[in-house]
Amino acid sequence: MSDVDELEAGVRDGDRRALARAITLVESTRADHREAAVELLDRLVDRTGGATRVGISGSPGVGKSTFIEALGLEILRGGHRLAVLAVDPSSRRSGGSILGDKTRMVELGREPDAYIRPSPAGETLGGVARRTREALLLCEAAGFDVVLVETVGVGQSETAVAELVDVFTLLVAPGGGDDLQGIKRGIMELADVVVVNKADGDLEQTAGRTAADYRNALGLMRPRVAGIEPKVLTASALKGHGIDETWAALCHVHDQLSGSGALDDLRRGQAVAWMWSEVQDAVIDAARRDGHAADRASRIEDEVADGRRTPTSGAREILRLMVR
């Protein structure tokens, strides 16, 4: 039995060790591993698509891991099997900023129906996101019916996560109008649910005002999907308040998307866009990796940056080097 056969069988059985090895395989950049990963994913494709895919983002300091732990336990109480993945291009195996530390989410990590996986290491956001997309499919194939994809609040990574999930939650800390400025404008438009965490003790009143500020800001904007207004909640992961409401709000949006056919359209579009973006990334990778072409491409890039050559002319030369 080949490695791929074994992994396929293990993932289909929902075996966690097989899932972990399968994800390690899709994360590898070695050419033979990539071949095997593509083969494995293709074989499992009939088992994918079954999960509710939830994105969750929050800046450092908003209490993200405590919140995800509380939300995760709430999800498990509903009888679901939960996988938690992460997209963090700054992460390294040696300890990234999210999910790298195994001491986080201790309680959730002990649950038999939860699977937590740190962010793959990677130089580029695109690469990290691509491997997380594949890990998500593997989790679905292993029978996880809710997948949370976590990311840090660093701008581009939220957009990448939004492109691979069905619904998106933005986690924020209580604070005055000044704190709202910390959220990049483009990020708010991704959120289906905004949760003001740490609504407890001294911060409870501030959290209420922050929620009102967000409601106001979101009210001035057009919803991501027509007819689906983003919801703003307060919560305290510490006290366990607002966690069930958050999950209910996410499920409500998911049901609306699903019922109207919008979810199907969203996922079809995501899959096709993902394919073409892989084609595009692969071409650029090839232009930068392959010895002769890479040297030329790098020189052409400098000429274009310095304005010594037009982008169009640079692009044509790179294409001549590469495309059949």
Among 29, 124, 181, 205, binds a copy of itself (CB under 8 A): 181
The yes or no reply on residue 212 touching a copy of itself (CB under 8 A) is: no
225 binds a copy of itself (CB under 8 A): no
Q: Nearer to a copy of itself by C-beta: 110 or 308?
A: 308
Q: Which is nearer to a copy of itself, 28 or 274 (CB)?
A: 274
- How far apart CA 179 and CA 182 sit, in angstroms, is 5
Q: Is 280 one of the binding residues for a copy of itself (CB under 8 A)?
A: yes
Q: Count Cβ atoms below 10 Å from residue 257 Cβ, excluding itself.
A: 20
Cβ atoms 218, 232 nearer than 8 A: yes
Q: Give the H/E segment covering residue 168.
A: strand 167-172
Q: What angle do CA 82, 95, 76 make, to 5 degrees?
A: 15
The reply to whether 274 sits near a copy of itself by the rule CB under 8 A is yes
- Return the number of the residue (78 or 177) whose C-beta is nearest a copy of itself: 177
Name, in order, each residue with C-beta under 8 angstroms of 30's C-beta and a sequence gap of 6 or more. none
Binding span for a copy of itself by CB under 8 A among 11-19, 68-76, 97-105, 176-184 = 176-184
Closest CA to 163 of 80, 260, 276, 81: 276
Binding residues for a copy of itself, rule CB under 8 A, total 63
Give the range of 16-24, 74-82, 115-123, 299-307 binding a copy of itself by CB under 8 A: 299-307
Among 92, 219, 240, 255, binds a copy of itself (CB under 8 A): 219
Q: Rule CB under 8 A: say whether 156 interacts with a copy of itself.
A: no
List C-alpha distances in Å: 73 to 126, 142, 231, 237: 30, 19, 22, 11
Quick check: 189 binds a copy of itself (CB under 8 A)?
yes
b/e burial code for range 1-23 (CB count within 10 A of at least 16 → b):
eeebeebbebbeeebeebbeebb
> Which residues, in sequence order, are CB contacts of 276 under 8 Å at separation 6+?
none
User: Which residues of the shown chain bind a copy of itself in the complex (CB under 8 A)?
Assistant: 37-38, 41-42, 45, 48-49, 130, 133-134, 137, 177, 180-186, 188-189, 213, 217, 219-222, 267-268, 271-272, 274-276, 278-280, 282-284, 286-287, 300-301, 304-316, 318-319, 321-324
